[in-house]
Amino acid sequence: MGIQASGLGSGIDSKALIAQLIDIERQPIRMLDEKRSGFQAQVSKVGKITAALKTLQTKLKALDTQSEVMLTKGVSSNEAAFAITAKSNAPVGSYAIEVQQVAKEEKDRSVGFANGQAAVKAGTVSFAVKGGAAQVVTIAEGDSLETVAANITKNVKGVSAAVITAAGQTFLQLTALEAGHAVGGSPSDAIVITENSTGATGTALAFTETQVAQTAKLTIDGLAVESDKNDITTALPGVTISVKDLTTKAEKLTISVDRDAMVTKVKELVDAYNAAMDLVRAETTVSATTDRKASLAGDPTIRALEQMLKSKFSSPVTSLGSASIAAAANFGVTSDRVTGKMSVDTTKLQTALVTDAQGVVNVLTAADGLATRLAAAIDGYAGPNGSLQARTEGLNSSVKQLDKQKLRLEDRVAKLQEQLTRQFTALETSVSALKNQQQYLASALPST
């Protein structure tokens, strides 16, 4: 253990004195720590702004095509008979629907067996579903009815098999997984079963058709439509008509612009914009209490970002020329001049969607539209090669440099502390020696 200055000999509190001297020497280190904390706070703020911009960009990219913005909805006047699902390209209008037939799946049943463990006669049974290739299941000698049912379900696509017990007998029942049969073809083509029994024991399945397959049939404004499925997607573009039951009279199918859904999308976009703008404005707005070390107020990138967000969102779409709706403000989206935040006048937006829904869509989706131009501009800031990424890398580099400086200063202070301790220890040793000598001389001289 090294010698430590104690101050016992000289009467000087050398430990306290050394501590004071070292504290003075550590002042530059404390300044580096403050500077480092400021840089780290700036890195965190840049990260939050980047995340908010990416969220906004995601919202923008979900509104840059006609199909994403022009939302439609389908309404059936008789949901018990048919339901409607409409995509953006669905033709707006109303249509008279009459359902004459609902598609049904074929069902087949074997002869009765004593129970599920009863043996099925060995051989093969093949299934051709809706005109497809034959799918063969092999029945081994001694296979039970339950085993055969499981093998059919596992190996035959488009068919399920179940063992049903009723009235003292057990049956193997087949059910086509899809309703209907090929349009123009025979209902018997839904499942073609070929059984070849070669075994010496057991009972052959000998299937009998218990439900005949049938297609869905309906008329749209008097035009006949037939489908091998109950979900009809080919009659009207962008529309799925899901047939459920027969109608007794003509019912109405209505396709209209889904204005409420479109308003919701615009509001979500404005909310994402405001979330990003709030973070940016928090940095560019300076007050007496602003921590200059941690603030991005002096960062030209953040100020440029603020101006970009304002101009790209609110400026007119040049390609739309003198159209009545050529900017977001024309359909009720306006900005506060002081805060830069956007707000939505729902009434004005709803009115615009009634009078010119396509105009609203064009402002968002044009080649130079709001969604496209703002999303591209954001990429220049929040993208992998954007200015915010460069700013983050620069700040992190500054933190690393400060860490290196701190290590050098810490090393210098440690050496100084060691040097001061040795010097004061030497002083204490010398003072103690002189005191001892003084005491010796005092005791050697005769007293008077």
- 8 A C-beta contact, residue 82 and residue 244: yes
pLDDT tens readout for residues 46-85? 999 999 999 999 999 999 998 889 899 999 999 999 999 9
Structure confidence at residue 3 as a pLDDT band (50, 70, 90): very low
In 10 A of CB 367, how many CB atoms?
10
Structure confidence at residue 11 as a pLDDT band (50, 70, 90): low
Q: How is residue 392 written in tokens? A: 């983050």
Most confident among 156-165, 286-295, 384-393 (mean pLDDT) = 156-165
Cβ neighbors of 297 (< 8 A, separation 6 or more) are 283, 284, 285, 286, 290
What are residue 249's phi and psi, to 5 degrees?
-155, 170
Tell which residue, 295, 323, 296, 305, has the closest CA to residue 382.
305
Residue 6 has pLDDT above 60, yes or no: no
In 10 A of CB 176, how many CB atoms?
22
CA quadruple 16, 20, 21, 25: dihedral sign:
positive
Exposure string of 143-162, with b = 16+ CB inside 10 Å and e = fewer, is: bbbbbbbebbeeebebbebe
**DSSP E strand stretches across 104-249:** 107-109, 123-129, 135-139, 159-166, 169-176, 191-197, 208-211, 216-220, 223-227, 231-232, 239-243
Residue 98 has pLDDT above 80, yes or no: yes
Give pLDDT, residue 160. Answer: 95
Give pLDDT, residue 1. Answer: 40
Q: How is residue 315 written in tokens? A: 């400026």
Give pLDDT, residue 429. Answer: 76
Q: What is the three-class DSSP state of 100? A: strand
Q: HEC string of 13-67? A: CHHHHHHHHHHHHCHHHHHHHHHHHHHHHHHHHHHHHHHHHHHHHHHHHCCCCHH
pTM above 0.95, yes or no: no
pLDDT tens readout for residues 114-127? 999 999 999 999 99
Exposure string of 283-294, with b = 16+ CB inside 10 Å and e = fewer, is: bbeeeeeeeeeb
Structure confidence at residue 297 as a pLDDT band (50, 70, 90): confident
Distance CA 328, CA 335 (A): 10
Mean pLDDT of all residues in the chain?
A: 90
What angle is formed at CA 40 by the lines to CA 39 and CA 41, rounded to 5 degrees?
90
Query: In DSSP terms, which residues pair with 232 in a beta bridge?
Result: 241
The answer to which of 92-96, 195-199, 418-422 has the lowest mean pLDDT is 418-422
